Chain A
Amino acid sequence: MNRNDLLSGDELSVSKALTVVESDRVAARSLIGSLPEREYYVIGITGSSGAGKSTLVNWLSVSFSDASRTAVLAIDPSSPFKGGAFLGDRIRMNRASRSGKILIRSMASRGMVGGLSPSVFDAVELLGRCGYHYIIVETVGVGQAETDIVNLSDVVVLVLAPGIGDEIQMMKAGIMEIGDIYTVNKMDIHGADQLANRIRSVLDLADVKREIVKTNSLTGTNVDRLYQLLIGELNRREKSGKIEESRQRRREIAELNTAFSALKEAHSRGVKLEAIMECINRLREDG
């Protein structure tokens, strides 16, 4: 991997770099550190399995790519049994894939129960530094992954759909804290209006002002509206300083993750906890 190839966003080099990021966290940090920082935005797309997130991203990513360089990270859970994974999001992303303009990468959550793999934080930073301006991250929103995607993203779209149990999901406490924009996908299916109304009333009760967009991801209907809302939201957040906050948070989490990996590695090589603590204390005294 040549640094210039990475900086110019050469797909093969970036793809190989993502493998490094996924396999070796310490090497990942030095690789990322060798590239200059750039501005980029992370758009989180989350929701139940089967809501139509991948199908939606198939259109949404094309809208973003018309504006600037765009990458998609599609994350699916690793199976607890032997850690394999079935990564099937690309099945729904032919349009984006064939546009020839979007880097799509499937990632497994790798051992983090329900949550996002720590290397996702490095992956977005790498992509950002390789010149990808918009990075769309699709995750299944369950358990820990819900808070992880909020920590990772500058803006989060919560995708819901009729007929897959989201009507009940909606009543769950805390659902209002996940989405910045709500999408009721499968608007062509019976129950979509009802679901949208339900979300509206839950948000109203909580006195939370959020946009709700109904989409049909088979035809792309209203995806442009969602795109416009996202761009508007990103602009607003940039002005209010919220984007800078998200960046800080991402940086902090990435650093903590790496520190943890390094400690874990040292520990597995027989370095005793006492020695590690002593080392940390010494560093602290030195200021």
Chain B
Amino acid sequence: MKKTRIIVAKPGLDGHDRGAKIVAMALRDAGMEVIYTGLRQSPSDIVNTALQEDADVIGLSILSGAHMRICDRLLELMNEKGIADKPVVVGGIIPHDDVEILKKKGIAEVFGPGTSLKQLEQRIKELAEKK
């Protein structure tokens, strides 16, 4: 039986991952296999992990404000490595105006601060199945 595998990664230099861990645990409790990478992962680290783990979905938690730069580089590297088909979702603190821009670039979903764990779980399942 195929299980949903998701990477929860914390790119950038901001130093705590409490939020990302809570999300990771919730997704685990929803029956997913969550590959947790820890702090300070570069886009290249994350792409390497996604490739080796054959993740269905890549989840990023970004609080640093550097989401544009990180996502640009990530999507570029995913293309290079032949894994552009994997959906990327972003959570954290993303200004409202940036959400559409990120989606246009190819980010599958942006979870704002008001998103419930239930909604998050639902959407990730959808994306994993669509893939």
Contact = CB atoms under 8 A, between A and B. Distances in A.
Contacts of B1: 23
Contacts of B24: 86
Contacts of B35: 87, 90, 106
Interface in B1-51: 1-3, 24-25, 27-38, 45, 48-49, 51
Nearest to A14: B52
B53 A106 contact: yes
Contact of B34 (A18, A85, A91): A85
A87 B33 contact: yes
Interface residues of B, number: 27
B45 A97 contact: yes
A222 to B, nearest CB: 25
B82 interface: yes
A86 B28 contact: yes
Main secondary structure of the interface of B (DSSP, over half): mixed
A91 B36 contact: yes
Interface in A54-104: 78-79, 81-88, 90-92, 94, 97-98, 100, 103-104
Interface in A173-229: none
The size class of the interface chain A forms with chain B is: 20 to 34
B103 interface: no
B34 to A, nearest CB: 5
Q: Looking at B27, B29, B52, B83, which has the most chain A CB atoms within 10 Å of its CB?
A: B52
Interface string A1-40: 0000000000110011011001110000000000000000
B34 A86 contact: yes
Interface string B105-124: 00000000000000000000
Interface of B: 1-3, 24-25, 27-38, 45, 48-49, 51-54, 81-83
